[in-house]
Structure 1
């Protein structure tokens, strides 16, 4: 089986989609799927995430101007389809011209088309810059999704949001995978201070102003707050201004983007992970925190009710008041209580969110589309 993935970019600065595509493709190749990727690139030296498996071939549609990039993407994609004759085309993301080109290419070649929306149809995401997305929805995006052979959602909540938009075709509910670090937090923190960590894009949808307001109300004694991640749309300066306004400059820091082993070390050094988001289709950073052995606090904007079900964190409303209550509770717990919560979270990720499990589920969906196996349990029609 050959699956051709299309994605606008594999630049790590473009958020979680490039990293998700890179990991998905690597692990699909690990379970015997021939994987091709066609992606855009602004210039030959542009930073990209490269899949780690040898059985993944990446072709770059490289052009400096936006207009030339689209024409190059179409020619590159068409040529690659003609050459490798893929069984499935799997597109990633929404709202971009490359998504139109992927759908057109699949239809022209008569190849089944799978779309992963990556949370871009969550209610908050749809309302953000809403008039542009409304025009795109009725102009092309709804038609693409209605004609797709399967839509991929990463949680039941995201699948329901797709249904609420009138999309009634088959939806495969398969979570994002999470790499399991070899080392994780297994001892309580020492010293006098404790550390809460936010690690994600610094973007309006992440709810950081609410977190700063809640932190200023609780002001947990002996705690620091680290806000790590790349800035988007200069939102960092709004958050910095809120920190200064509340007099929190001594306890809140902004280390910027953190990747690789530095990222995993930062998780392990922390005592609590906080994602005060307005909207997530999955929230992979929550799973990464649990995999690192620390409890997580997030909102009902993310599909993580299991945090409370498994007693490995807090899942609260997207309000300042709810964040205040949860932060106060988390900070008042003993080091051993928080560590025990983190160990339960690690066990949960090992059981349900390994990349091997995700790749096997996706492969079963592809085989079902091609008529080779019965419908997998993860594929839903009208619920």
Structure 2
């Protein structure tokens, strides 16, 4: 198959969606498909150091970066739209990542124009919390193009059953399928020596390390985390909170203010974004992973933590929470600082339970979230979609969505 992924950003600062998009494309390429990614060169207020005048090949995937222009909040790129119009007829299927952005409007329009089946991946934007955010602006976009994109998509791609259920009121009856994100568990087989991260910070000497490992962003429940840490630290004064991840829109300033107001600044470490061996080192040394998000359509950071054998405490708004609890890999609680603190203290008080949950987490990742398995599932969905939209191999339905899957 010739597959086109269209995504607004690939810069590491954008976290899970960018990472998952790249890795998803790579695993499909490894399965023998011709895979291309169209994206912009946006990187926060700047741009990536990537050429915009030619194809870059990475991990078997052809990547085209297009210049982003104002208004950048919409990831606007007329050059991408022009290229999509020319390129889409050459592909068997188009996979659009995220809603309410320029690339989705353009890709959906030209996929329909040229009669190529397309999939829309909401990336959690149809969760009620995110759906309500900036509602006036989104309502305009829905009227102009997004409702049409969703209604006429051949399928929607969700990463959890929970995401599918939460999105149902907003998808106009459109159907879809569930295929999770993945990890390459081989990357977590040989971790750095225990203590290699701790040795960089005197504060961590002899302490229990609580890890927040995600974007520093409003939806991650950092206000809840700081309040929870106040309760945890009162019961376990040997705890230190390590916050690892890119600062999204300077939200870290608020988090620092909350920590200062709680008298906890001296017991918190901000590392910024860590990659490669540094990322593995911080995961290796953590005693507990905490993510009390208000909304999380998947939670790839949770999976990475489990791959490293860390017991996790997450909110029941992280959409893999049911699976985590069912497999005994961690605890899930409401978005409430007292509940988060109680769960964290339960694990800190029971080292044997922590070890068991860490082992269960590794097994869960290997069983459910290995990219090689996920890639096979996605390939199957593509084949079914193409087969249903073009059973005779002679024509494609341009304006009709299909009802298949969940």
Q: Same fold (TM over 0.5)?
A: yes
2:87 alignment partner, one of 49, 58, 80: 80
Q: Is the 8 A contact 1:92 1:118 kept in 2?
A: yes
1:205 aligns with 2:214: no
Alpha-carbon distance in structure 2 between the residues aligned to 1:47 and 1:17: 20
Q: Which residue of 1 aligns with 2:132?
A: 127
Q: Which residue of 1 aligns with 2:27?
A: 27
Q: Is the 8 A contact 1:26 1:51 kept in 2?
A: no
Alpha-carbon distance change, 78 to 140 in structure 1, aligned in 2, over 3 angstroms: closer
Instruction: Structure 2: state its 5+ residue gaps.
Output: 51-55, 199-203, 390-401
1:53 aligns with 2:69: no
Q: Which residue of 2 aligns with 1:319?
A: 336
For each residue in 1:208-242, what CA deviation from the matched residue of structure 2 results, as whole angstroms up to 9, or x when unmatched? 11111111122123111101111122211111011
For each residue in 1:316-364, what CA deviation from the matched residue of structure 2 results, as whole angstroms up to 9, or x when unmatched? 0111221121122122112x43122111100110011000111111110
Alpha-carbon distance in structure 1 between the residues aligned to 2:307 and 2:217: 24
Q: Which residue of 2 aligns with 1:14?
A: 14
Alpha-carbon distance change, 200 to 166 in structure 1, aligned in 2, over 3 angstroms: same
2:111 alignment partner, one of 89, 94, 106: 106
1:235 aligns with 2:242: no
1:330 alignment partner, one of 323, 338, 347: 347
Q: Is the 8 A contact 1:27 1:359 kept in 2?
A: yes
Alpha-carbon distance change, 166 to 73 in structure 1, aligned in 2, over 3 angstroms: closer
Alpha-carbon distance change, 317 to 42 in structure 1, aligned in 2, over 3 angstroms: closer
Alpha-carbon distance in structure 1 between the residues aligned to 2:37 and 2:171: 30
Alpha-carbon distance in structure 2 between the residues aligned to 1:15 and 1:327: 25
Q: Which residue of 1 aligns with 2:371?
A: 355
Instruction: Structure 1: state its 5+ residue gaps.
Output: 374-378
For each residue in 1:52-101, what CA deviation from the matched residue of structure 2 results, as whole angstroms up to 9, or x when unmatched? 422x111222355559952211112223235xx10001111111111100
Aligned residues: 374
Matches within 5 A, 1:91-102: 91-102=96-107
Alpha-carbon distance change, 232 to 325 in structure 1, aligned in 2, over 3 angstroms: same
Instruction: Give the secondary structure class of the aligned counterpart of 1:9.
Output: coil
Structure 1 stretch 36-45 or stretch 26-35: which is displaced more? 36-45
1:194 aligns with 2:200: no
How much does 1:382 deviate?
7.8
Q: Which residue of 2 aligns with 1:173?
A: 178
Alpha-carbon distance in structure 2 between the residues aligned to 1:137 and 1:264: 41
How much does 1:166 deviate?
4.2
How much does 1:134 deviate?
2.6
Q: Aligned-pair RMSD on alpha carbons? A: 2.7
1:258 aligns with 2:264: no
1:225 alignment partner, one of 235, 241, 247: 241
Alpha-carbon distance in structure 2 between the residues aligned to 1:300 and 1:36: 35
Alpha-carbon distance in structure 2 between the residues aligned to 1:268 and 1:231: 22
Alpha-carbon distance change, 380 to 12 in structure 1, aligned in 2, over 3 angstroms: farther
Alpha-carbon distance in structure 2 between the residues aligned to 1:349 and 1:42: 32
Instruction: Give the secondary structure class of the aligned counterpart of 1:367.
Output: helix
Structure 1 stretch 161-170 or stretch 203-212: which is displaced more? 161-170
Alpha-carbon distance change, 103 to 322 in structure 1, aligned in 2, over 3 angstroms: same
Alpha-carbon distance change, 333 to 57 in structure 1, aligned in 2, over 3 angstroms: same
1:367 aligns with 2:369: no
Q: Is the 8 A contact 1:153 1:172 kept in 2?
A: yes
Alpha-carbon distance in structure 1 between the residues aligned to 2:174 and 2:259: 46
How much does 1:380 deviate?
8.3
Alpha-carbon distance in structure 2 between the residues aligned to 1:123 and 1:340: 34
How much does 1:150 deviate?
0.8
Alpha-carbon distance in structure 1 between the residues aligned to 2:386 and 2:229: 52
